[in-house]
Amino acid sequence: MTIENDVGDGGRFAFLKPSAECPRPIYDQILFEANGCVVTPTLGSILPNWLLIVPRLRTLNFRQWGESTGVSPMTVIEAVMARCGASKQTLWFEHGPAQTKSVLGCGVDQAHLHLIYDAPFSADELRLNAAETGKLDWSIGQPESVYASLLPRHSYLVVGSEKIAGYVEDVEHVGSQFLRKVIAGMVNRADSWNYQTHPHLAHIRETIRSFTAAS
């Protein structure tokens, strides 16, 4: 299932278009590609070692992407984890909107998944803080099966690590950039969660250096 979205109309991920002009902003630097997805630093990196995984296919969320391609999102996530060579805890998360123009999609209508390696907290800690902040009741399972558990046409949040993942559905009420807000609060940067106003370029540069050294 594919949709029309920002990849094609000059939005946040327009750099994915074959005709995209160079040079690109530092946060649009493609570090590598895996299974039809590009991996870049993250605009608004509240922490260093924060990557973004974006499919080249126009698709609304990674549940739809897996359905369309027949590839498990965990295949891509595991490839990124192996490539970044993280020696400490790694976690990943996604805001999965159910429709276009949803605030849950963080301002874009294109699937994108966040991955933080050598993080100062675990996926479990992120889920617990998100549960308290948003009054969320997470379902827990194996990372390989979490996307298959998601219902079509339902919004969702997913947070996982290499060994365990959790998800919660029908979450439009949490608003835009919800998990980014939670992370900002966890690291005492509660006022700098918004990628549109706080790009955190120094952390992006650190991510590029770290990832290049690990690769």
Backbone angles phi, psi at 108, to 5 degrees: -135, 155
Report the alpha-carbon distance of residue 55 to residue 113 in Å, rounded: 9
| 41: CB partners within 8 A, 6+ apart | 26, 27, 29, 31, 50, 51, 52, 204, 207, 208, 211
Q: What is the pLDDT of residues 112-150, one digit of tens each?
A: 999 999 999 999 999 999 999 999 999 999 999 999 999
pLDDT at 86: 64
Sheet containing 139-141: give its strands across. 32-34, 37-41, 50-55, 113-116, 91-96, 156-160, 165-169, 139-141
Report the alpha-carbon distance of residue 115 to residue 90 in Å, rounded: 7
Q: How many helices (H) and strands (E) does the chain have?
A: 6, 8
Q: What is the pLDDT of residues 25-51, one digit of tens each?
A: 899 999 999 999 999 999 999 999 999
Provide the 10 A C-beta neighbour count for residue 150.
Answer: 20
Is the pTM higher than 0.75? The answer reads yes
Mean pLDDT of 97-109: 87
Mean pLDDT of 101-113: 88
